[in-house]
Chains A and B, each alone.
Chain A
Amino acid sequence: MSSASPVRVMSGNEVCAEAAMAAGLRFFAGYPITPSSEIAEELAVRLPRAGGVFMQMEDEIAAMGAVVGASLAGVKSMTATSGPGFSLKQENIGFACMAEVPCVVVNVQRGGPSTGLPTMPAQGDVMQARWGTHGDHPIIALTPYSVAETFELTVRAFNLAEAFRTPVILLMDEIIGHVNEKVRLPDSVEVVERKGPDTTPDQYLPYRHTEDGVPPMAAFGRAGYRFHVTGLAHDETGFPTNDPVEIDRLNRRLNGKLERHRDAIVDVVRHACDDAEVAVFAYGSVSRAARQAVDEARAKGIPVGLLRSRTLWPFPDVEVRELGEKVGTILVPEMNLGQMAHEVEWAVRGACHVVPFGRVDGLPIRPGQILELIEQAVSRAGAGVRA
C-alpha cells in the first residue's frame, strides 16, 4: 500500500502496538512476558496520551478479564502475551467466545512447552489457538510473516473481532516480534466498528439469532440497553437457559458464525503455484525461509510453489485441498512437531503426500533445509514428479 510516511526501522512488537492504535485500540491490559513485553511498554506510553487506558494487571488472567470488561463497555481492547500466559488466559478467552465479545489477543510465540525457551521462537501454540479453551467454540487466528505484515494483520484482527463479535488471536513468534525491518506505515487504515443495536431498548436481544449469525451489540452504560452477559449457556435474551432447544441453537449459531463467513476470513497468498508439482505450505516467519527456498528451487528448474496462509483459523482447507489435487507432495515446515501438517493432511484427504518437517531446537528453519526437502520430494517421485 502506498503511503506518504517515511521509512522507519521497527520491530514487529512495536508495529503491532502502532497498528493497534491506528485500528482504534483504547484499552490494553497485559502482564510482562518475554517476548511480548515491548507491546505493553509501547502502549504504556501511547494509550494515556491518546485518551485510552493502559493497565499492567496482577496476572495474565486478570488482563484477559479486564480486556473483556472494557470491550463490553464499548471500548476496543487488546492484550499481548506468550505461551505460558496464553495458557492462563484460556478460560477468559472462552468467556469472550461464549459471550461474543470482540477483542484481540496477541501471542508472540516462544519455545514451549511450559517455561520452554523465553527468548527463542517457535510455532508451538497454533493448535492451542484453536482448541486452548474448553468446549466447542469458533476462533480466528491470524499470523503475519513480516514486520510490515504485522501492521496489516493487527488492524485486520481488530476489524474481524468487531465484525464477528469474537476474540481474534494474532499469532506472532519471537522472530517477528523482535526482528527489526524497514516499514512504511500506512497514512490511514480502514476500521470496522461493531454493529450497534438496530432496535429500541425494549426490543433489544443481545444474542439474537440473526441472518448473518452475528448479533448487534450494545454497550454497558448505553442508556436503556441494560443487558445481561453470562458465560452460562443462554438464549437470545442473554439469560441462562436449560432448554435443550435453545442450547442447541446457541451452540450451532456460535460455531457456525465464522464457518459461514470463512471465505471472507480465510486469507492465503500463493507464490508460483500455477504450474507447481510440489508445494510448500508455510506460515509466519517460516514462510520467509520457504519463499527463498522456493525461489532457489525455481531457479534450478524445479516446479515448486508456496501456499502461505495468513489465517490459521479458520483453516484454509479449501485452498489446501485445491493445491493437493494439483501437486504430488505438500511440504509443511513448521517450528513445531507437525501441528498444522495434521490439518493439511486432513484437508487433502489423500489427494497428495503430506510431508511434515519440524524444527523444535529454538532456531529458525533455514531456507537450505526447505530446499533440501523440496529436492527430496522431487527425487522420491522419480521420473515424473507427480507421485
Chain B
Amino acid sequence: MAEPDLAVRNVKAAPVTPAKASPEIRIKVSWCKGCGLCVEYCSRGALEMKDALVRVVDAEKCSRCMLCEAICPDFAITVVDRNVDPAGGDKETP
C-alpha cells in the first residue's frame, strides 16, 4: 500500500471540529433495560453495551443525529448538544 499523503493524515473523519464541545450523552441507568437498540442505531460507535446496560464509548464520535434518543423505548438516553445549549440546559433524561 502506498504511503498516505502526510498532508491529509490528521484530518478527522467526523464533521465535529475540535473547537466545538462534544455533546453530552446522558444515560438514566435505572430506566435502561439493556435492549441494545441505541447501540445498533448509533452509526458512529459512540455507544456500547456493557453488563446489560448501555454506556458511552466516546462522546466525541457522536454526530447528534439523536437516533439513539428516538429509538430508546424507555427514555433512558438523551443527547444534550452543548453547541446549541452551552449551559447543558436543564434537559434531564428524558
Direct contact of A and B (CB under 8 A): no
